[in-house]
Structure 1
Amino acid sequence: MSESPITTPTAPAAGLTASTVAVAGHGGDTVEAYLARPEGAARRGGVVVIHHMPGYDRESKEIVRRFAELGYDAICVNLYYREAPGASPDDAAAVSRAAGGVPDDRLVGDVAGAAAYLRALPTSNGRVGVIGYCSGGRQSVLAACSLDVDAAVDCYGAFVTGTVPEGMPLKVTPLVDRLPDLRAPLLGLFGADDSYPGPEQVAELERILTEHGKDFDFHTYEGAGHAFFAVNRPSYNVAAALDGWERITEFYGKHLADPGS
């Protein structure tokens, strides 16, 4: 793990705009996305938010707006748009689960399209980070192994390492063979009481990244389980979530700051 000075991101936004936009995703498909931007013309980094398995929901959009409040252009692609355009998040998630989930190549293509959209904005400083929660945590790592992003955050992503249980409906495989290709610094935030990923899977991930000389920083919260960031679920853990947000803010402040500042 490397050490470098912490710099602050652009000043927290006084105001922001948010809207639904169209993004060129995998295979040139046009997909729906939610974009939030701070007011002003200052150059800044961008953040691609990868939503959790429950889908492109209000909570995911709130996270996008939070990054805009922190001074970043932020976007979240509706990963289930192809299967269920216009459907409610619950219905779209059910359709996606029945189909085995989002294919890895399609996920990478959609995140690449979202990152390109952010970099094409007139306020972009060229730097883009990715962050994902739950299934999106694994997908954030996958994106950072596949694309030229500048920073990645994995919030309790299952099956980056470990073994997928038999009978699981999602067609997902661990990323062990992809980890040597990790291209960006990685922040990992995990719950000690989680099962997927459990502490042993986090330890395996840490070992592999260390063996390959990757830049990473992991933190595990005692007393926290899966989805401790989810404010609308019983799993929400205030202390873990608050500390996690502080770590994310510092991490992106270090890696997404304007290179000319």
Structure 2
Amino acid sequence: MTDNSQKSGTGFAAATPPTANVITTDTEGLTAGWIDLAVNGQAVPVYRAQPEGKSDLPVVLVISEIFGVHEHIADVARRFAKQGYLALAPQLFVRQGDPSAIADIPTLFRDIVSQAPDAQVNGDLDACVAWAAQNGGNVDKLGITGFCWGGRVTWLYSSHNPQVKAGVAWYGRLAGDTNDKQTSHPVDVAPTLRVPVLGLYAAQDTGIPLDTVERMKAALAQGSSGSEFVVYPDAGHAFYADYRPSYNARDAQDGWNRTLDWFRQHGVA
């Protein structure tokens, strides 16, 4: 059975109570809500948003932070739907537990986030793409974007699935130790990456040192993906997260505009 607490699409993670900056996107003109995808016997909840009554839509996968798909990520999906996309935001931690119930970030990372294997994540995203192809999406126009943990996934899934036309990674980890669940990091796959990914990073991000951005650029230079970086000098980690104190409205809006432009430039529109 699927835990319905992970399918509300409302509320925020216990670890990050919202500030006054929360942006709310309505559902007027949209079909929006939760669906379940069966993946190897597991029901995976996915928040879906798309223009109502439309088909042949470009598809964007929206990958959450470590907090899972709460109201902010659902809102991001609706933002894409308002731009004409079929947006899918899957609960990629459904097998590990409910991240919204954990208020302590180290515990959340240890008990849930680090327990989600990369192969499992890729398989769930493959299932999302297959569902989109059968439900009004044009997967010849497939994009992916993600935030924090989801930024790392954006790089890795773009390497895993050459069907992706373009990705946008927001302040996702680029390098680190590997193990039996996290078998590689973006810097490891960069030389063979063929999908153009736009990396949106922050100079004041204490969790992602700029030297790892430079390492990633050097690794990408060995290949031919056409990926690029924008580093915002005054922003910190999670600068797009309007519900958090880290929100930087100016850089968030610039990053959103660049995201839409990047997708249009690379055939995801």
TM-score with structure 1 setting the length:
0.82
Given the alignment of the two structures, is residue 91 of structure 1 paired with residue 105 of structure 2, yes or no? no
From 14, 26, 34, the counterpart of 1:20: 34
RMSD: 2.5
Deviation at 1:195, TM superposition (A): 2.5
Matched position secondary structure for 1:211: coil
Deviation at 1:243, TM superposition (A): 0.2
Can you list the C-alpha shifts for 1:213-246, whole angstroms capped at 9, x where unaligned?
2211210101101000011111101111010000
Task: Point out where structure 1 has 5 or more consecutive residues left out of the alignment.
Answer: 1-12
Given the alignment of the two structures, is residue 38 of structure 1 paired with residue 54 of structure 2, yes or no? no
Q: Which residue identity lines up with residue 118 of structure 1 in the other structure?
A: A
From 82, 88, 93, the counterpart of 1:75: 88
From 184, 192, 196, the counterpart of 1:185: 196
Aligned length: 237
Counterpart residue number, 1:155: 170
Can you list the C-alpha shifts for 1:127-169, whole angstroms capped at 9, x where unaligned?
21111100110011110111121111110001x22x359xxxx
8 A contact 2:151–2:169 mirrored in 1: yes
Runs of 4+ in 1 over 4 A off after TM superposition: 92-96, 170-173
State the percentage of identical aligned residues: 32
Matched position secondary structure for 2:115: coil
Q: How does 1:2-151 map to 2 (within 5 A)?
A: 15-25=29-39, 27=40, 29-84=42-97, 87=98, 89-91=100-102, 97-99=110-112, 100-124=114-138, 126-147=140-161, 148-151=163-166
Counterpart residue number, 2:5: none
8 A contact 1:140–1:153 mirrored in 2: yes
The 1:222/1:95 distance shift into structure 2, 3 A limit, reads closer
Distance 2:44 2:160 in 1: 20
TM-score with structure 2 setting the length:
0.80
Q: How does 1:109-258 map to 2 (within 5 A)?
A: 109-124=123-138, 126-147=140-161, 148-158=163-173, 160-161=174-175, 163-164=176-177, 173-257=184-268
Distance 2:109 2:45 in 1: 16
8 A contact 2:129–2:139 mirrored in 1: no
More contact order relative to length (CA 8 Å, sep ≥ 6): 1
Distance 1:113 1:41 in 2: 21
The 1:18/1:203 distance shift into structure 2, 3 A limit, reads same
Distance 1:98 1:129 in 2: 30
